[in-house]
Structure 1
């Protein structure tokens, strides 16, 4: 089939991680703020939705064109090949955005775009004047204007990609699954290393680590709206799902620990891990993070600790950071990674981070503090006997 342009949207600051995932899947792409443009085909939509761990959505680009008037917007939309993409009964809605554009009324842009699509569908299906039933497959359409350039897209994902399908219930301040996957990918963790999620909450970091460690596609247990689209071949979905099942290492042993002081969170995390089919890969423990005593000499400690948005006082937060800093310092073979918006984290923790990176946890600007531990000694080569 002909090449298409797709967009994988992403939280600010992790676009490069999304691009790496896209390239690892074998596609070429270009990175922009908040998005990654992908050169692909319609048959590739299933694979991208199933495998991208850090992207928010996968959108099909229908067209990009300049529009400074409503007439230009209507004419640009009405000429697009809508009947190639949507059946007569397509259930579509039009969302909108406008930034630094002459067409600043989002509501009017939505109305104009929908009218143009209706006209194009009536003309293309030779049903002039007939009402579109909108009872079929779901097509979330967006008209986005940026500096007078209109980008028309259809969201192929439906629900955002962070909705993996395993977290029906969550903690008070949940970490998105996509952000958890990004945090893990920014560590030096390998599946043969111990992984301690010390503020596990609903278990998101531990579960995402298990999915990564066992090479389980994050979208394998959910559905996507484009599964019902005639323009995406059913065979592409079957092939993508079969590929994901074949590549998954379902029984691979992992050393992943989820720790939380609240026994209710520990139970919730266990339930979520069960839904994700990785319960056997994670040991959940009811304990204080500041009491952590890793059994192994080298590994990774990671956490999304409380940082003021969860009702704790500043004194309680400082005390917690001081205690974990003192405890984790006892294990120099561990790299520590903490996500928090608390500005004086390093001071409270007791030492400066090796590296820090700005990330957005929802609408909250945070810093991802990275403290690199000592590297484990290289394994010496096994002695070989002379067979001559």
Structure 2
């Protein structure tokens, strides 16, 4: 049994997919909350969630959650926690965080008090008066929300959306974790005929391929906690081997990407190569007006250009009208689009069978999903 908890922050709207994913990984006592999912922890789960999660932004050790309305309550609450379990004599432990709707509203002051409280705790445990902080970082993150303090230690390092395949991107890329969730919501099959007609740098194509082939998104990158002496290095090796053993490379999955910009097409192909999925990802230059359905089934997902992003509003609405003409309702085919434009359905010409509120960074969007079977049932 584990005796600590982990928490995975995520984009708003992705709590359900993330909780489902963690349960499938074997996590216990999984509890979705606003913008994060809490679950029971172990060294294996730290490694597994970092390597395998498609929807989490990072994996953190949840030290505690407690109320604090004064700096004294904050100091005492922090000092009482077993920081020595994770932080050694020479380890660095920078502190950052945020305060929202709380009596303690000054982030710099809270940052200073938390740092001081951790130092006082470690001084009493290690019998030293000075910490060099020359070792590997144990980054402490705090969130004070409505007078409730959450304290975490980050295990990931760079955010988990940084898979490593997208060093360069087109002007308005979609976040990798959100792209993976769109694939989840649209139920892309392992043998899908997947199409992104506005592929840009290829993020949706690659995330769909990684999901279909069951390739763990973090299997080839490094994480901060890999250097910690508090976690057996063999755990990371074992979890990577486990992840690779679950890959499926003969599924029949095909991803096709189109874009009017030849530079985007070249970049998408390059990124697919970096991600190790170039064998099933094909990209070419093609205008949306030239889209044609090929085959008995297909799954179209895209992040079309919208007003204030790449085009003016009038040009974006014209693209939506063209999309409505070329994406014809047909059994065996589904179409899903993410956009913040509230006029999308009107311009597209049809109401979606299903809608989901999602966030692309801080931009509130709607995910419009069209399935012919569902539209028929609703009539």
TM-score (norm 2): 0.95
Aligned to 2:139: 140
| 1:107 Cα deviation from its structure 2 partner | 1.0
| Mapping for residues 308-387 of structure 1, pairs under 5 Å | 308-329=307-328, 331-374=330-373
Structure 2 unaligned spans of 5+: 375-379
| 1:219 Cα deviation from its structure 2 partner | 0.6
Going from structure 1 to structure 2, the CA distance change for 1:299 and 1:373 (only over 3 Å counts) comes to farther
Partners of 2:40 and 2:114 in 1: how far apart? 25
Partners of 1:184 and 1:316 in 2: how far apart? 27
Going from structure 1 to structure 2, the CA distance change for 1:323 and 1:106 (only over 3 Å counts) comes to same
- Are 1:196 and 2:174 an aligned pair? no
Aligned to 2:40: 39
| 1:223 Cα deviation from its structure 2 partner | 1.1
- Are 1:4 and 2:4 an aligned pair? yes
- Are 1:108 and 2:109 an aligned pair? yes
Q: Secondary structure at the match of 1:13?
A: coil
TM-superposition CA deviations, 1:336-377 (whole Å, max 9, x none): 0000111111111111111111111111111111110349xx
Partners of 1:308 and 1:55 in 2: how far apart? 29
Q: In the alignment, is the contact (CA less than 8 A) between 2:192 and 2:299 conserved in 1?
A: yes
| 1:252 Cα deviation from its structure 2 partner | 4.3
Going from structure 1 to structure 2, the CA distance change for 1:290 and 1:188 (only over 3 Å counts) comes to farther
Partners of 2:251 and 2:204 in 1: how far apart? 18
Q: In the alignment, is the contact (CA less than 8 A) between 1:201 and 1:260 conserved in 2?
A: yes
Q: Secondary structure at the match of 1:61?
A: strand
Partners of 1:78 and 1:43 in 2: how far apart? 27
Q: In the alignment, is the contact (CA less than 8 A) between 1:47 and 1:240 conserved in 2?
A: yes
Partners of 1:205 and 1:332 in 2: how far apart? 23
Q: Secondary structure at the match of 2:315?
A: helix
Partners of 1:280 and 1:85 in 2: how far apart? 42
Going from structure 1 to structure 2, the CA distance change for 1:365 and 1:31 (only over 3 Å counts) comes to same
Structure 1 unaligned spans of 5+: 376-388
Partners of 1:249 and 1:316 in 2: how far apart? 41
Partners of 1:141 and 1:5 in 2: how far apart? 15
Aligned to 2:377: none
Kindly name which structure, 1 or 2, has the bigger radius of gyration based on alpha carbons: 1
